[in-house]
């Protein structure tokens, strides 16, 4: 067998401007493409889950509403009751969080390759089909902060305590469903939403594709029913704009503008040329 030549290599996105979302690695795997198989575009995120235990059996810990004073706003104190993790509870939580969030985000989008781009055509000699991009996501729990894209503090809130999370602070309740939309039975899972932030998505009410973490107003989570049902609002519905991180990766790999990669939420097959 001859040497396998991967055209695209990998993307490593890092740096201060990605501290709150959009820091990831990506890989475009075109090797297995054929007349019925697209290329895979995978975003990878590695999480270090920092287990937080109080000094004693119980204690207090600031949740997402606990904010220091700024030049224009006073401090907000929001300390919530936490307790030590039970034996094995943290380990099970980590596995369920990673598995659930990965399943929610992987394999949900396809990007149609513009007709002006020919490097995904197959076979290489006398091509007959133009392959598209299948958007995949891999979330991995690592056990050293040095190996992670993000470190997430994880507390064990006392039973019955309302603890509000954000993309860098989780509680054991984040893998449980809740109802967040008034007069609706639609469910919401915090870890789907917060991992969406880590991929690089903002709140639906702040324009979405701009990851604005300091806007936690009620309108940021949606005003209309349609907006609130969005996973980056108060629900679990995925929309085309959630594929933006993969579109950005496609642009970096190929030089074709992100907006030119049309998003589909159903399987599209390579197109005959």
> Is residue 89 one of the residues assigned to a domain?
no
> Is residue 213 one of the residues assigned to a domain?
yes
> Is residue 3 one of the residues assigned to a domain?
no
- Look at residue 216 in the predicted model and tell me its pLDDT: 65
- Look at residue 206 in the predicted model and tell me its pLDDT: 78
Contact criterion met (CB below 8 Å) for 241 and 209: yes
> Is residue 239 one of the residues assigned to a domain?
yes
- Look at residue 208 in the predicted model and tell me its pLDDT: 63
- Tell me the C-alpha distance between 110 and 266, whole Å: 7
Rounded to two decimals, the pTM is: 0.92
| Tens-place pLDDT, residues 112-146 | 999 999 999 999 899 999 999 999 999 999 999 99
- Look at residue 5 in the predicted model and tell me its pLDDT: 46
> Is residue 113 one of the residues assigned to a domain?
yes
> Is residue 199 one of the residues assigned to a domain?
yes
> Is residue 39 one of the residues assigned to a domain?
yes
Count of structural domains within the chain: 1
- Look at residue 183 in the predicted model and tell me its pLDDT: 86
Q: Which of 24, 29, 38 is nearest to 4 (CA)?
A: 29
- Look at residue 212 in the predicted model and tell me its pLDDT: 46
- Tell me the C-alpha distance between 249 and 135, whole Å: 10
> Is residue 68 one of the residues assigned to a domain?
no
| Tens-place pLDDT, residues 188-199 | 999 999 999 999
- Tell me the C-alpha distance between 64 and 11, whole Å: 31
- Look at residue 78 in the predicted model and tell me its pLDDT: 96
Domain housing 23? 10-47+96-149+177-272
- Look at residue 215 in the predicted model and tell me its pLDDT: 59
SS (H, E, C) 28-91: EECCCCECCECEEEEEEEEEEEEECCCCCCEEEEECCCCECCCCCCCCECCEEEEECCCCCHHH
- Look at residue 20 in the predicted model and tell me its pLDDT: 82
Instruction: List the chain residues with pLDDT less than 50.
Output: 1-5, 212-213
């Amino acid at each position: 067998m001859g040497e396998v030549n991967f055209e695209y290599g990998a993307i490593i996105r890092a740096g201060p401007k990605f501290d709150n979302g959009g820091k990831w690695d990506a890989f475009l795997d075109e090797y297995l493409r054929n007349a019925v198989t697209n290329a895979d575009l995978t975003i990878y995120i590695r999480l270090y889950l920092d287990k937080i235990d109080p000094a004693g059996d119980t204690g207090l810990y600031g949740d997402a509403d606990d904010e220091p004073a700024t030049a224009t706003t006073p401090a907000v104190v929001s300390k919530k009751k936490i307790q030590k993790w039970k034996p094995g509870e943290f380990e099970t939580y980590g596995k369920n969080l990673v598995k659930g969030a990965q399943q929610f985000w992987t394999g949900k989008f396809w990007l149609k390759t513009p007709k002006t781009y020919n490097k995904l055509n197959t076979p290489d000699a006398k091509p007959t089909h133009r392959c598209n991009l299948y958007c995949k996501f891999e979330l991995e729990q690592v056990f050293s902060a040095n190996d992670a894209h993000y470190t997430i503090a994880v507390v064990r809130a006392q039973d019955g305590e309302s603890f509000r999370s954000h993309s860098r602070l989780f509680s054991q309740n984040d893998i449980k469903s809740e109802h967040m939309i008034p007069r609706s039975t639609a469910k919401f899972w915090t870890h789907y939403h917060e991992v969406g932030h880590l991929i690089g998505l903002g709140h639906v009410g702040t324009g979405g594709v701009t990851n604005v973490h300091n806007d936690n107003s009620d309108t940021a989570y949606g005003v209309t029913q349609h907006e609130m049902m969005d996973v980056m609002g108060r629900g679990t519905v995925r929309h085309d704009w959630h594929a933006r991180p993969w579109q950005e990766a496609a642009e970096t790999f190929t030089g074709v503008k992100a907006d030119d990669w049309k998003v589909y939420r159903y399987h599209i097959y390579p197109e005959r040329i």
